[in-house]
């Protein structure tokens, strides 16, 4: 991210004239509350915001160094007294699962919350509240977020935004009347700003308030949408357009005004609760206002000041979101750590694997940064800071995205268990999705951060320009600026944070300092190059915001870790590790089926009648006899409508039946395939067991040959079997005792069996309660003394592992096909929305950041679809070497679909979060695809190690050739010529003959990636030898390089075909291929650098150490900045 600035600096043009106005048409503006100094005074005083000042390449340390100590001993004691009662409430009274299922909170729970004072945490005691300051409030949010986010939103919507306006802007009479009602009077409050046509564009609301003829009240008409607590609130902070007259010009124009509206005024009504993806127990409803009479004394903050009031309410409460999500992340990490500590796979606890260690370490770092930001901002607010709005916006963006990442990774670590409702993480994930949308979407807040910072930097440049116009009276300023620039141009005089940090963090402080200097130079170069037009350069603004977020995050953790070291706290070692690692990383940068959880008989009968459950089976055995490519097209269609139903079909045909097709004897095929094709009998694939997960070879189900030798007796159980409750025929895997014919030694080897439910002893448990794919019956399968005829052994005895792997390998491309269809639907929904939706007086599609998102999701779909058809096409042509490509396809497509659906929801905003959009169902359904049929983490290891094994064979062959050179002159000369040519920049891979002329540059990027990749693999083999299997940090990046290279080659091939055939889509395919090859080749270079770099190796070791600490403690190995647990 920071490196991006270097490119901008190099290409910056000389300044001829610059004028940056406050042009934030695409972002909400942070303005001072009434209690703060007037604007003219604020302009005179220095801006103390650390973040704002780095846009000038300067450091204002007061609000970051040292880390704020906002609580004295008495305040710590006061908040500590609440920790146990609140925790006890969540453990003994609140039931988050019940709240989620009922989409409501029962009266017993709400009564307990009122008694605890949970609805008036920050209200002064004289009005009936607890009188907590911001830091104390953060501690309460931290606890709530770790327990029940839906309940947290219910509480937060009441006090963080519902009546916060009265606290910030209310006059004495308003406070005395309303604050006791919302504190102890059991009266709920709500914040009513958003309207159906406004979304993030708060300034364009249409709700109107007209002053009565006698001037005693306003008449309010209009409606508000997605109002948290809207159905239960009796007091609302409502925003409406009012006609205001300019006292100077007499001109009349509409300006937003804030009102305190009581439901008791009459004319206030609300619609039914919205059916949402998550935070279900928080009431969200549309609110209608019909001729509501509002007394003039209920104007809040002055007539025409409503936009300022709304923005400051949101700005003032954003830190609470970071504190809340800090608690959520802690709970997710604790679940993941407990699982990693106990779960055994491939003979080792999974906590010992580098891949898991990296995940745990990164999750912990994201939590640490989020928590540090939350308490930093609340601490600054409590010590009187006025300049915290940019930092608060950043904390909201960072926390909401980090929490999503942490929960997603926790689910991945838990695997299938994480996908089950019992675990609780699926509820957390659904709840989390809205946090990147409401209270200012992250996309808008990024523009707000970038444009506000740029405006501040631009004002400094204008000041300097004015000084040069009158140099005689401004010599001090000119010499000061000239000296600073001259010294920096020769590498001296830059930012130095070393004096603020502890000794072990000096290097990290230097990294942060360098980023600040480079960031300031980049901002100035952007101003010089674009001037006022920078407001339209959203591609650049987004990246500028990301760089600002990363830089601020580094400074915050440096400050917190320094405080910990200097106070000699027990967590000092852990915090130093996390801070070093973080700084190093950042510098381098179908609704019915879903609701009922089953598929109705009519739908299933139609599937049989259409032949969709027998697409591969030859016609003579009752099937359609489709090839792989034809099957892909069918899967794309079904995946575009209903992933769960598509998976039900796929579980039957792609893995449930596939074993008999691939390995069945003629007798087995003739007996079972007609039943599975047209006999309306479902088949299932039964491999996974409760204790095995991804470690298929360690299954414990046992098959013992009967004394008569006519059958095997099976005992055991299988877990998470797709279609298990519907199926009557199972491809089942069990351990069989096999005697080695050479040595006579007996050992267990996996064997595959065709098991019929009618054999007796076969039963299934109830359907699993899952996050998604609800209509695909997923059950546990129990095998109790099941007699399986010897004739039902599938393949040879002892070959079960090979059979299982081949079934999965041959079907993996099908997952990509389903998800290609899903992505297409997500993109179509998004394209329709951005084309029609107007925000800030422009269609969404006219904004650059929206264009970028739409282009990238379309490109991801193009790549995924290309991979799927490439693999299936090669299989149809008779290829037997498709297993690595199939694994690459599965990993890429499942991750691309998650990205595409997630971005589609973000672009649709609140509409995307509602169930009616259909996207929340897709998101829940997609999540398990990265887990089942080979978890993506395991497949990455498979890709890397299989490829490295083949490269090792080639290297050994060359070594053998060199031992007898006379007999191998041809091979030695060919290899020598190739290496000499490559060493001087010639003779490398050349893809140019294979691609269209328009793609020559993209082909060169791919070819260079191939050459660099192969050299890296060879160097890894030479350095690590057989020990490479333990280098999972590096292997994961080897796999990512392989995925990117193969995807580049695939789209180059497909786009060339489109050009050669002059297809109508050729222009679009060229664009997407060029975009992808640029992005992918950059990632390859980045990953190769990480593989080779000793600095990154050291950072991985920090992560491994941190992960071990987390596993040992089974939770985050540190407290919070106020040291109150």
What does the pLDDT average to over 232-257? 92
What does the pLDDT average to over 91-113? 95
The pLDDT, as a whole number, for residue 694 is: 66
C-alpha to C-alpha distance for 1074 and 1052, rounded to whole angstroms: 9
The CATH code of the domain that includes 665 is 2.40.110.10
What does the pLDDT average to over 698-713? 94
Report whether pLDDT(18) > 50.
no
Report whether pLDDT(751) > 50.
yes
Q: Which of 144-153, 896-905, 915-924, 953-962 has the lowest mean pLDDT?
A: 953-962
Q: 273: which DSSP letter?
A: P
Residue 1100 lies in a domain: yes
CA atoms within 13 A on the CB side of 589: 17
Give yes or no for a contact between 207 and 221, defined as CB atoms under 8 angstroms apart: yes
Range with the largest mean pLDDT of 31-40, 151-160, 537-546, 945-954: 151-160
What pLDDT digit, counting tens, does each position of 892-939 carry? 999 999 999 999 999 999 888 888 888 989 999 889 889 888 889 999
What pLDDT digit, counting tens, does each position of 297-307 carry? 999 999 999 99
* Residues involved in catalysis: 439
The parent domain of residue 978 ranges over: 938-1111
Q: Angle 643-650/628-641 helices, nearest 10 degrees?
A: 150
Q: pLDDT band for 68, please (50, 70, 90 cuts).
A: very high
Whether residue 870 sits in one domain with residue 732 = no
Whether residue 1069 sits in one domain with residue 975 = yes
C-alpha to C-alpha distance for 721 and 707, rounded to whole angstroms: 31
User: In terms of DSSP bridges, do strands 189-192 and 235-245 run parallel, antiparallel, or are they unpaired?
Assistant: parallel
**The domain boundary residue, chosen from 895, 929, 963:** 929
User: In terms of DSSP bridges, do strands 284-295 and 217-228 run parallel, antiparallel, or are they unpaired?
Assistant: antiparallel
What pLDDT digit, counting tens, does each position of 249-263 carry? 888 899 999 999 999
More confident residue, 406 or 947: 406
C-alpha to C-alpha distance for 289 and 207, rounded to whole angstroms: 9
Whether residue 833 sits in one domain with residue 958 = no
**The domain boundary residue, chosen from 751, 781, 809:** 809
User: Residue 634 contacts by C-beta under 8 Å, 6 or more apart in sequence?
Assistant: 612, 615, 626
- Give the residues across from 454 on adjacent strands: none
Residue of 554, 580, 451, 452 whose CA lies nearest to 59: 554
Give yes or no for a contact between 259 and 300, defined as CB atoms under 8 angstroms apart: yes
Q: Which of 153-157, 644-648, 796-800 has the lowest mean pLDDT?
A: 644-648
Q: pLDDT band for 1026, please (50, 70, 90 cuts).
A: confident
Report whether pLDDT(1068) > 90.
yes
What does the pLDDT average to over 1035-1043? 94
The pLDDT, as a whole number, for residue 964 is: 62
Compute the mean pLDDT over every residue in the chain, rounded to the nearest whole number. Answer: 86
The pLDDT, as a whole number, for residue 247 is: 82
Whether residue 900 sits in one domain with residue 950 = no
The pLDDT, as a whole number, for residue 372 is: 96
Q: pLDDT band for 973, please (50, 70, 90 cuts).
A: low
The pLDDT, as a whole number, for residue 341 is: 92
What does the pLDDT average to over 303-325? 92
The CATH code of the domain that includes 896 is 1.20.140.10
The pLDDT, as a whole number, for residue 660 is: 94
Cα distances from 1047 to residues 870, 1003, 1010, in angstroms, run 10, 12, 12
The pLDDT, as a whole number, for residue 968 is: 56
Residues 222, 223, 228, 231, CA torsion sign: positive
What does the pLDDT average to over 976-985? 50
**The domain boundary residue, chosen from 809, 834, 864:** 809
C-alpha to C-alpha distance for 593 and 649, rounded to whole angstroms: 14
Q: Which two tokens stand for residue 122?
A: 């920050």
The pLDDT, as a whole number, for residue 965 is: 58
The pLDDT, as a whole number, for residue 1093 is: 82
3-state secondary structure of 902: helix
Give yes or no for a contact between 138 and 314, defined as CB atoms under 8 angstroms apart: no
Give yes or no for a contact between 322 and 556, defined as CB atoms under 8 angstroms apart: no
Q: Which of 206-215, 1040-1049, 1100-1109 has the lowest mean pLDDT?
A: 1100-1109
Query: Left (φ > 0), alpha (ψ -120 to 50) or beta: where does 444 sit?
Result: alpha
Give yes or no for a contact between 200 and 909, defined as CB atoms under 8 angstroms apart: yes
Q: pLDDT band for 25, please (50, 70, 90 cuts).
A: very low
More confident residue, 954 or 540: 540
- Give the residues across from 973 on adjacent strands: none
- Give the residues across from 838 on adjacent strands: 843
What does the pLDDT average to over 1010-1034? 88
Residue 266 lies in a domain: no
The pLDDT, as a whole number, for residue 1114 is: 84
User: Residue 155 contacts by C-beta under 8 Å, 6 or more apart in sequence?
Assistant: 113, 118, 119, 144
Whether residue 694 sits in one domain with residue 617 = yes
Whether residue 755 sits in one domain with residue 782 = yes
Which secondary-structure segment (H or E) carries 394? helix 389-414
pTM of the model: 0.79
Residue 402 lies in a domain: no
User: In terms of DSSP bridges, do strands 235-245 and 217-228 run parallel, antiparallel, or are they unpaired?
Assistant: unpaired
Which secondary-structure segment (H or E) carries 1102? helix 1094-1113
What does the pLDDT average to over 715-720? 92
The pLDDT, as a whole number, for residue 31 is: 34
Residue 765 lies in a domain: yes
The pLDDT, as a whole number, for residue 588 is: 59
Cα distances from 150 to residues 156, 284, 427, in angstroms, run 10, 11, 9
What pLDDT digit, counting tens, does each position of 169-192 carry? 999 999 999 999 999 999 999 999
User: In terms of DSSP bridges, do strands 344-345 and 348-349 run parallel, antiparallel, or are they unpaired?
Assistant: antiparallel
C-alpha to C-alpha distance for 773 and 312, rounded to whole angstroms: 42
Give yes or no for a contact between 721 and 686, defined as CB atoms under 8 angstroms apart: yes
Report whether pLDDT(489) > 80.
no
Residue 372 lies in a domain: no
Residue 333 lies in a domain: no
Whether residue 961 sits in one domain with residue 841 = no
Report whether pLDDT(12) > 50.
no
Whether residue 712 sits in one domain with residue 613 = yes
The pLDDT, as a whole number, for residue 954 is: 66
Residue of 386, 514, 458, 468 whose CA lies nearest to 49: 386
User: Residue 133 contacts by C-beta under 8 Å, 6 or more apart in sequence?
Assistant: 70, 71, 75, 122, 378, 382
Q: Which two tokens stand for residue 637?
A: 């269609």
DSSP structure string for 967-989: GGHHHHHHHHHHHHHHHTT-S--
Whether residue 956 sits in one domain with residue 907 = no
The pLDDT, as a whole number, for residue 6 is: 31
- Give the residues across from 208 on adjacent strands: 221, 241
Domain count, the chain: 3
The pLDDT, as a whole number, for residue 528 is: 82
The pLDDT, as a whole number, for residue 44 is: 61
The pLDDT, as a whole number, for residue 1019 is: 86
Whether residue 850 sits in one domain with residue 706 = no
3-state secondary structure of 257: strand
The pLDDT, as a whole number, for residue 8 is: 27
Report whether pLDDT(488) > 60.
no
Q: pLDDT band for 1123, please (50, 70, 90 cuts).
A: confident
What does the pLDDT average to over 1111-1125? 81
Q: pLDDT band for 467, please (50, 70, 90 cuts).
A: low
Q: pLDDT band for 38, please (50, 70, 90 cuts).
A: very low
Whether residue 1091 sits in one domain with residue 963 = yes
Residue 683 lies in a domain: yes
C-alpha to C-alpha distance for 173 and 175, rounded to whole angstroms: 5
Q: Which two tokens stand for residue 767?
A: 């359907």
Report whether pLDDT(470) > 50.
yes
Whether residue 953 sits in one domain with residue 840 = no
Residue 353 lies in a domain: no
Cα distance from N-terminal residue to C-terminal residue, the chain: 36
- Residue that the structure tokens 């002892």 belong to: 798
C-alpha to C-alpha distance for 646 and 634, rounded to whole angstroms: 9
């Amino acid at each position: 991210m920071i490196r991006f600035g270097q490119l901008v600096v190099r290409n910056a043009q000389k300044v001829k004239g610059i004028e940056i106005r406050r042009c934030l048409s695409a972002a909400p503006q942070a303005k001072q509350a009434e209690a703060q100094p007037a604007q003219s005074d604020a302009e005179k005083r220095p801006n103390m915001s650390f973040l704002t000042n780095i846009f000038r390449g300067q450091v204002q340390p007061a609000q970051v160094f040292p880390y704020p100590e906002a609580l004295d001993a008495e305040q710590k004691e006061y908040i500590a007294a609440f920790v146990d009662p609140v925790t006890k409430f969540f453990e003994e009274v609140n039931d988050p699962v019940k709240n989620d299922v009922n989409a409501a909170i029962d009266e017993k729970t709400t009564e307990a919350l009122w008694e605890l004072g949970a609805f008036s945490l920050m209200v002064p005691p004289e009005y009936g509240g607890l009188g907590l300051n911001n830091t104390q409030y953060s501690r309460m949010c931290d606890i709530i977020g770790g327990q029940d986010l839906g309940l947290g939103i219910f509480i937060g919507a009441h006090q963080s935004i519902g009546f916060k306006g009265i606290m910030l802007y209310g006059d004495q009479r308003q406070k005395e009347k309303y604050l006791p009602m919302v504190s102890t009077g059991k009266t709920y409050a709500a914040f009513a700003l958003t309207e159906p046509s406004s979304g993030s564009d708060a300034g364009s609301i249409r709700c109107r308030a007209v002053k009565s003829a006698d001037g005693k009240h306003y008449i309010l008409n209009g409606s508000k949408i997605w109002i948290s607590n809207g159905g239960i609130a009796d007091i609302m902070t409502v925003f409406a357009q009012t006609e205001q007259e300019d006292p100077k010009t007499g001109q009349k124009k509409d300006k937003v005004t804030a009102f305190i509206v009581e439901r008791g005024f009459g004319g206030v009504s609300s619609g039914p609760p919205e059916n949402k993806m998550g935070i279900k127990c928080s009431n969200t409803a549309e609110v209608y206002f019909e001729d509501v009479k509002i007394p003039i004394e209920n104007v809040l903050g002055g007539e025409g000041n409503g936009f300022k009031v709304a923005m400051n309410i949101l700005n003032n409460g954003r830190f609470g979101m970071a504190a809340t999500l800090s608690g959520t992340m802690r709970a997710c990490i604790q679940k993941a750590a407990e699982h990693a500590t106990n779960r055994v796979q491939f003979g080792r606890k999974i906590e010992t694997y580098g891949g898991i260690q990296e995940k745990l370490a990164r999750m912990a770092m994201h939590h640490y940064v989020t928590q540090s930001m939350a308490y930093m901002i609340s601490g600054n607010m409590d010590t009187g800071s006025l300049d915290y709005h940019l930092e608060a916006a950043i904390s909201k963006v960072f926390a909401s995205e980090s929490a999503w990442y942490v929960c997603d990774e926790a689910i991945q670590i838990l695997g299938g268990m994480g996908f089950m409702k019992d675990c609780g993480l699926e509820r957390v994930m659904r709840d989390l999705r809205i946090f990147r949308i409401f209270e200012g979407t992250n996309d808008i807040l990024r523009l707000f951060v970038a444009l506000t910072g740029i405006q501040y930097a631009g004002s400094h440049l204008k000041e300097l320009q004015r000084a040069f116009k009158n140099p005689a009276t401004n010599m001090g300023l000119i010499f000061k600026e000239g000296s600073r620039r001259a010294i920096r141009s020769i590498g001296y005089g830059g930012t130095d944070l070393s004096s603020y940090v502890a000794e072990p963090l000096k290097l990290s402080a230097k990294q942060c300092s360098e980023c600040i200097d480079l960031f300031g130079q980049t901002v100035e170069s952007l101003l010089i190059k674009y001037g006022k037009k920078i407001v339209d350069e959203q591609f650049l603004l987004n990246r500028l915001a990301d760089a600002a977020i990363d830089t601020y995050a580094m400074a915050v953790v440096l400050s917190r870790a320094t405080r910990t070291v200097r106070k000699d706290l027990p967590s000092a070692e852990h915090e130093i590790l996390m801070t070093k690692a973080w700084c190093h990383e950042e510098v381098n940068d179908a609704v019915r089926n879903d609701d009922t959880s089953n598929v109705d008989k009519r739908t299933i009968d139609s599937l049989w009648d259409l032949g969709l459950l027998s697409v591969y089976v030859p016609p003579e055995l009752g099937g359609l006899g489709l090839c792989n490519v034809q099957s892909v097209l069918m899967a794309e269609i079904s995946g575009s409508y209903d992933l769960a139903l598509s998976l039900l079909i796929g579980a039957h045909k792609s893995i449930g039946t596939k074993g008999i097709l691939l390995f069945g004897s003629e007798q087995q095929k003739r007996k079972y395939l007609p039943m599975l094709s047209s006999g309306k009998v479902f088949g299932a694939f039964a491999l996974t067991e409760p204790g095995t997960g991804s470690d298929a070879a360690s299954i414990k189900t046992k098959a013992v040959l009967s004394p008569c030798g006519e059958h095997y007796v099976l005992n055991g159980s299988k877990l998470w079997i797709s279609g298990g409750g519907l199926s009557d025929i199972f491809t089942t895997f069990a351990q069989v005792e096999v005697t080695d014919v050479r040595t006579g030694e007996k050992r267990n080897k996996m064997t595959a069996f065709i098991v019929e439910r009618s054999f007796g002893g076969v039963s299934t448990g109830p359907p699993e309660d899952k996050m998604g794919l609800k209509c695909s019956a997923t059950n546990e399968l129990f095998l109790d003394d099941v007699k399986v005829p010897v004739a039902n052994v599938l393949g040879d005895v002892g070959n079960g592992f090979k059979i299982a792997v081949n079934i999965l390998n041959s079907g993996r491309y099908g997952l990509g096909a389903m998800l290609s269809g899903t992505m297409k639907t997500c993109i179509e929904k998004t394209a329709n929305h951005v084309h029609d939706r107007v925000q800030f007086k422009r269609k969404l599609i006219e904004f650059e950041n929206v264009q970028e998102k739409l282009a990238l999701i379309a490109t991801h779909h193009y790549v995924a679809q290309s991979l799927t058809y490439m693999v299936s096409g090669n299989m149809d042509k008779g290829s037997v070497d498709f297993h690595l490509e199939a694994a690459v396809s599965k990993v890429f497509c499942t991750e691309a679909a998650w990205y595409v659906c997630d971005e589609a929801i973000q672009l649709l905003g609140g509409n995307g979060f509602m169930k009616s959009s259909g996207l929340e169902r897709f998101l829940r359904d997609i999540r398990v695809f990265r887990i089942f049929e080979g978890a993506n983490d395991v497949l990455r290891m498979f890709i890397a190690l299989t490829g490295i094994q083949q490269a090792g064979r080639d290297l050994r062959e060359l070594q053998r050739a060199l031992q007898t050179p006379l007999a191998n002159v041809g091979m030695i000369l060919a290899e020598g010529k190739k290496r000499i040519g490559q060493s001087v920049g010639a003779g490398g891979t050349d893809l140019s003959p294979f691609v269209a002329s328009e793609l020559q540059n993209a082909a060169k990027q791919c070819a260079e990636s191939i050459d660099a990749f192969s050299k890296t693999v060879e160097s890894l083999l030479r350095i690590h030898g057989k020990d490479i299997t333990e280098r999972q940090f590096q292997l994961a990046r080897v796999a990512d390089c392989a995925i990117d290279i193969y995807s580049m080659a695939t789209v180059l091939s497909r786009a060339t075909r489109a050009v050669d055939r002059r297809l109508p889509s050729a222009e679009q395919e060229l664009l997407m291929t060029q975009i992808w090859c640029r992005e992918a080749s950059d990632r390859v270079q980045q990953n190769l650098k990480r593989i080779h770099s000793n600095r990154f190796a050291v950072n991985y070791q920090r992560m491994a150490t941190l992960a071990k600490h987390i596993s040992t403690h089974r939770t985050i190995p540190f407290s919070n900045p106020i040291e109150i647990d």
